[in-house]
Structure 1
Amino acid sequence: MLQNICVVLVNVSHPGNIGSVARAMKNMGLTRLVLVEPRAFPHNEANIRASGANDILEKAKIVATLENALVSCNLVFGTSARHRRISWPLLGLRQCGTKVVEEAASGTQIALVFGREDSGLTNKELQQCHYHVHIPSNPKFSSLNLGAAVQVVSCEVRIAWLIAQDQSSKLEKNEVASTKNSELATVDELERFYKHLEQTLVAIKFLKPEKPRYLMARLRCLYGRSSVSRTEINILRGILTETQKVVDSASRKRKD
């Protein structure tokens, strides 16, 4: 189950924090680490701070963008403490741990995404996440070290995992649901759908690029919480393709 979960770090500035994260992951039984454009890695400071979790650093995957990091993932949890205009599905730590374990148990590929030490994740990056996760720290001193943040979230995941081991009946239900959940659309498939959707909405003049009014962000939120399957994505993209054909045909007739 835990092998279906990866930790994604975006633009880490200090290599020591990568080592701290690796140690926190190994403490909680997580092994898959993905680094999005780290400023300095590999680095000796990361090895020192890993303190025995160097195997995780050695197997860490390095990519250029968050979109690349989420290829083949089905469900993405992004940590954020900032207020945003658009309401997004928000989970507390205990809810996050339970949700991650329930989904991972049925084969769903999970990503836990953590942002930059100084500024976290951008709004655009947060929109690539299905859920946002809030760590209820002291509001008067809410800033957490990156390694500590990963430790807290991964600890909740492990607690939920340990509870799940004692609930055999719940595991059996997850096995029945595994076929359906394994067919969920991946993040990269959803991204291609969103681009196709945006192009079509512009073509039918429902979306005005000069005045988008958060339309695509709201649609991302809608589809992101719907657990869209690959079959459903193909149906939706088929509808978009036929819509574009009608628009193109009408455009040619006007020109004639």
Structure 2
Amino acid sequence: MKSILEKIDLSADLPLNRIRVVLSHTSHPGNIGATARAMKNMGLSKLYLVNPKHFPDEEATTRASGAADVLENAIVVDSLAKALEGTVVAAALTSRRRELGPELMDARRCAAHLCDLAQTEEVALVFGNETNGLSIEEVSLCNLLVTIPTNPVYSSLNLAQAVQVLTYECRMAINTSVENVVERHQLATHEEIELFYQHLEQSLIEVGFLNPANPKRLMPRLRRLFGRKQLEKEEVDILRGMIKVMQKGKGKNGLES
């Protein structure tokens, strides 16, 4: 057995080490344990829990069935924003297209995209509460929506089942993504993107384009617009530089008016 294991190249699994599984406001500890088991089956280890109702919990450990190490290393935070710190792309699981939401991908396409990015960057798969899923505010923090094609007359999936499907697709995706590593520019992190949106909103208020008393859907639409393009760090710097110039009232070609 040892000689067989020595021949296994684990370097191909490295992208999986950069994929976070984020569970938000999970109600049942058994689902957390089953999620840990599903993750370990497929070679993922980074579990983030946003305000779980019961954790740590004996039922979670029991349902983990040999994946207790994933639970022991789980990171518990009080907001989705904290769980996404350091990531460049977050894919939120949903069963439907949202009017002002990010781009919607099926599970296979999304997994391939995330694994490609995970060659060099941190990414996340985000799952909501068992009853209500993710809130509108939580979805707005994500770059992509991912859906699992199911029987249209019976589409309900258990939380751990959904995690198993997506982690399986990630496992399959690394077989091809590691063969096609391409040069890419550094993507902006979640925190950098959120600071850009805050800066943009502030500037739009200052120039009178956005009325904070009656904002309508301007910022969600702008989030959707920029969310279609996974912004690079340099691009965010350029956009924020443009905003600063406009705030200072500079004229053409960057000269003071």
Under TM normalisation by the shorter chain, which class is it?
0.7 to 0.9
Matched, 1:162 2:165: no
**How far is 1:83 from its partner?**
4.2
Out of 119, 122, 125, which is 1:109 matched to? 122
- Find the aligned partners of 1:88 and 1:101 in 2 and give their Cα distance: 19
**How far is 1:97 from its partner?**
1.7
Out of 204, 209, 214, which is 2:212 matched to? 209
Matched, 1:15 2:18: no
TM-score by length of 2: 0.87
CA deviations on 1:61-108 (whole Å, 9 max, x unpaired) are 111111111111011111011342225311011111211121112x02
Which amino acid counterpart does residue 239 of structure 2 have in structure 1? L
- Determine the structure 2 residue equivalent to 1:45: 59
- Determine the structure 1 residue equivalent to 2:139: 126
The aligned runs of 1:78-227 (5 Å cut-off) are 78-86=92-100, 88-105=102-119, 107-164=120-177, 168=179, 170-171=180-181, 174=182, 177-178=183-184, 180=185, 183-227=186-230
> RMSD over aligned Cα, in angstroms?
1.6
CA deviations on 1:177-208 (whole Å, 9 max, x unpaired) are 15x1xx21100111111011111111111112
- Find the aligned partners of 2:118 and 2:59 in 1 and give their Cα distance: 32
Which amino acid counterpart does residue 240 of structure 1 have in structure 2? I
CA deviations on 1:128-172 (whole Å, 9 max, x unpaired) are 11110011112222111110000011111111112445xx4x23x
The alignment-based identity, stated in percent, is 45
- Find the aligned partners of 1:93 and 1:185 in 2 and give their Cα distance: 23
- Find the aligned partners of 2:97 and 2:89 in 1 and give their Cα distance: 22
- Find the aligned partners of 1:81 and 1:212 in 2 and give their Cα distance: 28
Residue aligned with 1:33, SS? strand
Which shifted more, 130-139 or 25-34? 130-139
